Amino acid sequence: MSHAKAAPGKALLTPQDHTLILIDFQSQMSFATRSIDAVTLRNNAALISHAAAGFGVSTILTTVAEKSFSGPMFSEITEAFPGQKLLDRTSMNTWEDEAVIAKVNEIGKPRVVLAGLWTGVCIVGPALSALEQGFEVYVIADACGDVSDEAHERAMDRMVQAGARPMTALQYLLELQRDWARAETYDLTTGIAKKFGGAYGLGIIYAKTMFGAQEGH
């Protein structure tokens, strides 16, 4: 018979146990994205970027043909990581780029969290490659996009079938916090949620303004 105890499951992410890799959030890639609208995509990219930066998550920012074709990375992301170098690639599969892999090995975390454009090319490639090399892989589905709903969904199916774990942007933020009694990151988490959390963020603003409510009590 199982015996319950008040402890988190090992499959839950912590700020210390993973590397977030943000891939090809660039103008040229977004123009053809149809599985998610540009406003939602940019919002969710900003949410996970500010969450990672605020919680001190090891983060890699990578682009493809930035100056010659695809354009700059979304400012919502780069503003969260001021001064951080962007690793520009020629390979569609991030996991085949020596500079990116050198950074992954330097960081040395056993888990990789992926988000970017497009799901069926630039996310599938590193997801399947990292899984084969023994990494645990998570994909933030609503911070990814592809040229059609079909392309995005089949890509997610393929990764999940291979062992990747899907999640959402807001889920990522709240999983990093996970306990409202963690006072040191409470304001950070609710601040990000108020700015980028949609209706949930409006609810926080309403509760705090009208009733002085706080989740930790």
Dump pLDDT digits (tens) for 60-74.
Answer: 999 997 777 788 999
Q: CATH 3.40.50.850 spans which residues of the chain?
A: 18-178
- Taking CA atoms, 203 is separated from 73, 152, 200, 208, in Å, by 31, 30, 5, 9
In sequence order, the 6+-apart residues with CB closer than 8 A to the CB of 23 are: 62, 94, 114, 115, 116, 117, 122, 123, 126
Q: How far apart are CA 165 and CA 179, in angstroms?
A: 22
Architecture of domain 18-178: 3-Layer(aba) Sandwich (3.40)
Dump pLDDT digits (tens) for 2-49.
Answer: 899 999 999 999 999 999 999 999 999 999 999 999 999 999 999 999
Two tokens, residue 202: 């409006």
- The pLDDT assigned to 25 comes to 97
**pLDDT > 90: what percent of the chain?**
86
pTM: 0.94
How confident is residue 207, by pLDDT bands cut at 50, 70 and 90? confident
Q: How far apart are CA 5 and CA 14, in angstroms?
A: 19
Dump pLDDT digits (tens) for 149-187.
Answer: 999 999 999 999 999 999 999 999 999 999 999 999 999
The three-state secondary structure class of 179 is coil
122 a catalytic residue: yes
Can you name the residues that pair with 139 across neighbouring β-strands? 114, 166
How confident is residue 51, by pLDDT bands cut at 50, 70 and 90? very high
Q: How far apart are CA 123 and CA 145, in angstroms?
A: 10
Q: Which of 21, 45, 100, 122 is catalytic?
A: 122
